[in-house]
Amino acid sequence: MITYRPFVRLVLPFVTLCFIATTTAAQAREHLTPQEIELVKEAQMLDKRIDVFVHAIERRLIALNGSSAANAKQLKKDSEKWGELPAGSRADLVGDLARILDEAITNIDDVSSRDERNPLIPKALRRLVQTVNTVQAQLTPLKDQAKTEAEIASFELWAEDAKSVLEAVKKLPPEITDKKTKVKQ
């Protein structure tokens, strides 16, 4: 008669560990709404995809700061395409900001690794820097109010990614503006 006890002793801890890891992963917060995920998938060009990430970041800022009555009409219009504003604690929303920024950076890195001279890279990076500067100005006062470890970690993750974006844009050549000369007729 064959006994399976040694096998069970080896496999049971592994199965338990996999179950715990799967359960924990399922409970992790998604940083993009389902509608935003679809919009990212639809945006195949780098600059358009970065625009989706930027708008997702702006939506988290609205959720963080509270929406004003002036934005109510725009929020209603956006909700049809983008879904409802994300909800969560300040730590959750700042964590979302950091993960969205990280995903945008990853997208730029992916394109850069395939084609360093892609003209959309500087455009996307400059657009991302504008957003980073805007968000940074709004997050700085909130960072000083952070109390929980989760909040502090979220702010640090944002700061780390923001710093890498700001450093990357310094390496870009100067922006070329298309100046059309007007000819008097």
The per-residue pLDDT for range 64-117, each reduced to its tens digit, is 887 655 567 777 778 888 988 888 998 999 999 999 999 999 999 999 999 989
State the DSSP code for 175. Answer: P
Side chain identity at 54, as an amino acid letter?
A: V
C-alpha atoms less than 13 angstroms from C-alpha of 166 in its C-beta half-sphere: 12
CA atoms of 94 and 99, how far apart (whole Å): 9
CA atoms of 15 and 144, how far apart (whole Å): 43
Interacting residues of 84 by C-beta distance below 8 A, sequence separation 6+: 33
- Please state the separation of Cα 2 from the chain's center in Å: 54
Please give the share of the chain, as a percent, with pLDDT higher than 70: 77
